[in-house]
Structure 1
Amino acid sequence: MFLTNVLLKKVKSKRIMVLMESMVSGHQFNYIRDRLADKLEMIRFDPYIQKEAVYYERRKIKSVK
């Protein structure tokens, strides 16, 4: 193995940005979580229905430093 391959290896970040979506109205927002953590579900205020709603993690967007 060449030394340059070892030196240029990318390191995975410890956090990722995910898309959170409301189960009720479809409202979405971005959230940052640890890469090794479980998928998120949370209760948060939904501006479309003016009440609290359950949000779940829809998909990964990108890695964050």
Structure 2
Amino acid sequence: MFLTNILLKKTKSKFIMVLMESVVSGHKFTARRERLGDKLELLRFDPYIQNESLYKERKKIRSFK
């Protein structure tokens, strides 16, 4: 094993992609948020019910820079 592999750590990404789900209808979409930020809750247009609905963060999908 090379010494450089031990010394160089991978840096954590600043953002993560999360799955957002509608509380009313179950419609889902992905959003991006900061890794250290709070879980997302937002109002957005829901195409299933043709009205605004509350979306809550369900799970982390992946990290990216």
TM-score by length of 1: 0.92
Point out 4+ residue stretches in structure 1 off by more than 3 angstroms: none
1:10 Cα deviation after fit = 0.7
Q: Distance in 1 between matches of 2:11 and 2:32?
A: 18
Aligned equivalent of 2:51: 51
Q: Percent identity?
A: 68
Q: Distance in 1 between matches of 2:17 and 2:49?
A: 25
Report the 3-state secondary structure (helix = DSSP H, G, I; strand = E; otherwise coil) of the residue aligned with 1:55: strand
TM-score by length of 2: 0.92
Aligned equivalent of 1:26: 26
Stretches of structure 1 that go unaligned for 5 or more consecutive residues are: none
Report the 3-state secondary structure (helix = DSSP H, G, I; strand = E; otherwise coil) of the residue aligned with 2:39: coil
State how many pairs are aligned: 63
Stretches of structure 2 that go unaligned for 5 or more consecutive residues are: none
Q: Distance in 1 between matches of 2:26 and 2:64?
A: 24
Aligned equivalent of 1:12: 12
- Note the aligned Cα RMSD (angstroms): 1.1
Q: Distance in 2 between matches of 1:41 and 1:29?
A: 13
